[in-house]
Structure 1
């Protein structure tokens, strides 16, 4: 009962706030649409280190009604991620429950999609949850089901954004050649000045599900070819149908990314 009242209060406050300024329009938003353990925290930090972007990382807002952007702003204020003079609102969305009921206006935002190879991502997700002592995705099987469902949903979301409002980046491109990846994002989504490979990792981006709780705080830029901790969990023993599903989902999404690069900006 108390939780329901709190949620109602958040929705009401978000709706009221969203009606106070022209800022609360999806055309003034930039979203990272991705899955866990794909480099999204580093890119979030780069975006949110700019004076013209307000945000910090994953806000866990459900984009299912007219007050969602007001709720996003309230969340940022509570987490010290609010920048009053910014012209863009930011969020990182990694779970289907947050965007599966998105309104048509949601697709007016600028969207940066990120995907990581299934073997690497699934092992990293399971390893993270094991180390944190959390049960949600602490085995390759649990992580693989999450990964498949999220990547499949990203493929559907990709098709709903106009070509000039979306761009797809693979994890290896972002980590190995960050300057080139940032230049592509800046050019396609019209960031001026262009994104720079530097950031400040705030506490909000690492705590309470905001982002990477382990590595992000140690760096202030994406380090090309940064050696990652090797994980011991293997995906080789996934059921054959699940292995085929994650491989096909990744192949399909990244093929959409590559096709999208050949669509001219309008």
Structure 2
């Protein structure tokens, strides 16, 4: 059975008021990008991942550095350099913009934000993250049930998001030059945070290296900026069992063949990020 991605449904039914707001924001972003030296893709840092993979904790660690300006997921659509101006506007509105920082940061968890990325986008540096499908889907279901939103109200809906996004990550990985990308899994991040942060520090040329500690900015816990369930409860990356928001472990209500496909996609991601130079 064919399914219509949630992102496509959302675009088709986007209120006119929001569309006008987006046009105004993009125009302002273009003006900011033309004046702001930060708005260059070769200086930008992105986490490219999916929901519920530990990206909020990693974002908080990165954004705790004075040379990085950001807070989490800003929901910017990257189609041109003007998009970086929109990113600055979003950061400034949330009082998280650092004018002197050489690097702008954003986290991208949905394909509507990076599907139309132009060639310049791939001059940035990207940190890819993914998590095993069963844990991810259970965590997505739990999140949206607890915050009272109707999205992803079935295992199949969450699985469809995961499948589409992992396929996108695999495609995006191949489009970045080898020197501009690094990847890790949720398991590696939670079992070896020090080692993974050292890898990322070397990749981003950060000295001293990143440390496993952070303070959660308010912007990372509200308005879709990050994890509203656990981010404020912790100040470091902790083992998966400690941070898990999954209340009940259970089997997924999806067909076995689909779960097999999801596992294969995850293993393909894991293979790419652990075997690439």
SS at match of 1:19: helix
* Structure 1 unaligned spans of 5+: none
Number of the residue aligned with 2:253: 237
Number of the residue aligned with 2:12: none
SS at match of 1:121: helix
**Superposition map of 1:138-217 within 5 A:** 138-217=153-232
* Structure 2 unaligned spans of 5+: 1-15
* Among 7, 16, 30, the residue aligned to 2:31: 16
Report deviation, 1:83.
Answer: 0.8
Number of the residue aligned with 1:31: 46
SS at match of 1:187: helix
Number of the residue aligned with 2:61: 46
Distance (whole Å) between structure 2 residues aligned to residue 128 and residue 113 of structure 1: 22
Number of the residue aligned with 1:135: 150
Report deviation, 1:158.
Answer: 0.2
Whether the 8 Å CA contact 1:182–1:196 is kept in 2: the answer is yes
* Among 243, 258, 262, the residue aligned to 2:274: 258
- Residue-pair matches, total: 261
**1:228-255 deviation line (CA, Å, top 9, x unaligned):** 2443263433113321221111011111
Distance (whole Å) between structure 1 residues aligned to residue 275 and residue 71 of structure 2: 30
Distance (whole Å) between structure 2 residues aligned to residue 37 and residue 48 of structure 1: 19
Report deviation, 1:225.
Answer: 5.2
Report deviation, 1:85.
Answer: 1.1
**1:196-255 deviation line (CA, Å, top 9, x unaligned):** 111110110000100000110011111245522443263433113321221111011111
Report deviation, 1:164.
Answer: 1.3
Whether the 8 Å CA contact 1:35–1:151 is kept in 2: the answer is yes
Report deviation, 1:2.
Answer: 3.1
* CA RMSD, Structure 1 to Structure 2 (Å): 1.4
Distance (whole Å) between structure 1 residues aligned to residue 81 and residue 48 of structure 2: 20
SS at match of 1:31: strand
Distance (whole Å) between structure 2 residues aligned to residue 33 and residue 108 of structure 1: 14
Report deviation, 1:162.
Answer: 1.1
Report deviation, 1:185.
Answer: 1.1
After TM superposition, the structure 1 stretch with the greater mean CA deviation from structure 2, 60-69 or 222-231, is 222-231
SS at match of 2:126: strand
Distance (whole Å) between structure 2 residues aligned to residue 207 and residue 236 of structure 1: 29
Whether the 8 Å CA contact 2:70–2:105 is kept in 1: the answer is yes
